[in-house]
Amino acid sequence: MRKLLLDLWKILTFPFRLLWRLVALPVKVIKRIYVFLTFEPEDQPLADALATAVQQPASALEHLDALRKHLFRMLIAVAVGVVICGAFTSQIIDILAQPIGGLDALQAIDPTETVGVFMKVALWGGFSLAVPYIAFEFWLFAAPGLSARARRSSLLAIPLTLIFFLGGMYFAYRFLLPTALPFLLNFMDIRTIPRVSSYTGFVTSLMFWIGVAFEFPLVIYVLTLVGLIKPRMLVQQWRIAVVLIAVLAAAITPTVDPVNMTLVMAPMLVLYFFSIGLSYLAMATRLRKREE
C-alpha cells in the first residue's frame, strides 16, 4: 500500500517536478559557466608540466581522450555546415564565378564535373562556416590550463576568429582575384577558357588559405597567453618573419608577378605587426595575474 501511494504521488507531482527542473536548468547552466570562467588552475611552468606528463602517462591519456571528443564535435560541426551550405551551393558557385565574368565564362568537359564541383564547394563552404565553432572547441580544450583572466580574454577573442577569417576571404575575392585573373587568363596573349572544376578549386583554395593567414594575430595572442611565445622575440625576429611571409605569399599567390605577391604580402606584414601588439597585451595579462 505504501509503495502504491508513493507511485501515485510521483505521478501526481511529475508535472511540477518537470517544471521545476526546466526552470532550474538555466540557473545550473549559468552557474557552471561562471565557475568554469572564474576558477584558477595551478600555475605550473611548462617544463614541470611536461615532466609530469612523462612521469604520469595516464594524465596525458586523459588529455588525448578529451582532444578526441573535441575533434569529434568539430567533425559534426563541419558536417552540419556542409549540409547548410549544400542548400545554397548553386548561389555560392555563381558568386565565385563573378570575378571571371559569370558561369558563362566557364566550361565543363567531364559528365560528372559539375557534380564534383558542387560537392567541393559545399565541403569548403561547410568547413568555413564551422571555423568559429572549431575555434571554440580548441578554446574549450585549452581553457582549463589558462588563468581565469586569460580564459575570459581568449573567449572574447573567438568572435574575432570569424571576422579575421571572413576579412581574409573578402580580401582575396575583392582585391586579389580581380588582379590575378586577367594576368592568368591572357598570359602570352593566349585566351584561356578555364574548366569549372579547375577554376572553383583554385578560387576556393585561395580564399580559404588567405582567410587562414588572417588568423595569425589570434594564434599569436593565444600562444602568448599560454607562455609559448614572448612579444620581445617577435620584435627581435621581425627580419626573419618578413622573409617567411614573403615565401608564404609566393606559395599562396596564384601568379609569379611581384604585383600580386605584394597584394598578398602587404596585409600579412600588417597582421604580423598587429600580432605583436596583441602579444604585448596577452603578456600584460599574464604579468598582472602573477602580481595578483
- Other beta carbons less than 10 A from residue 284's beta carbon: 12
Residues 31-36, mean pLDDT to the nearest whole number: 71
| Weakest mean pLDDT among 57-61, 137-141, 164-168, 234-238 | 57-61
Check residue 43 and give its pLDDT.
56
Task: Evaluate if residue 122 carries a pLDDT over 50.
Answer: yes
* pLDDT tens figures, 174-220: 888 887 788 777 777 777 778 888 888 888 888 888 888 888 888 88
Sign of CA dihedral 256, 164, 138, 56: positive
Question: What are the pLDDT digits (tens) for 145-183?
Answer: 777 776 777 777 788 878 888 888 888 888 888 877 887
Provide the pLDDT for residue 151.
75
Delimit the domains of the chain by residue range: 47-291
Euclidean distance between CA atoms 286 and 273, whole angstroms: 20
Shortest CA distance to 203 belongs to which of 165, 163, 176? 176
Whether residue 85 is predicted with pLDDT greater than 70 in this model: the reply is yes
Segment (H or E) for 5: helix 2-38
Q: Identify the burial level of 57 via C-beta atoms within 10 angstroms of its C-beta, where 0-12 means exposed, 13-18 middle and 19 or more buried.
A: exposed
b/e per residue, 159-169, with b = 16+ CB within 10 A?
ebbbebbebbb
pLDDT given at position 46: 46
At 77, the pLDDT band (50, 70, 90 cuts) reads very high
Cβ atoms 141, 209 nearer than 8 A: no
SS3 107: strand
Write the pLDDT tens digit of every residue in 233-280: 888 888 888 888 888 887 777 656 676 677 778 888 888 888 888 888
Q: For 41, phi and psi rounded to 5 degrees?
A: -75, 170
pLDDT in the model for residue 42: 61
Q: Which pLDDT value is given to residue 160?
A: 81
Alpha-carbon torsion, ordered 228, 234, 236, 237, to 10 deg: 100
Mean pLDDT of the chain: 79
Q: What is the pLDDT of residue 284?
A: 80
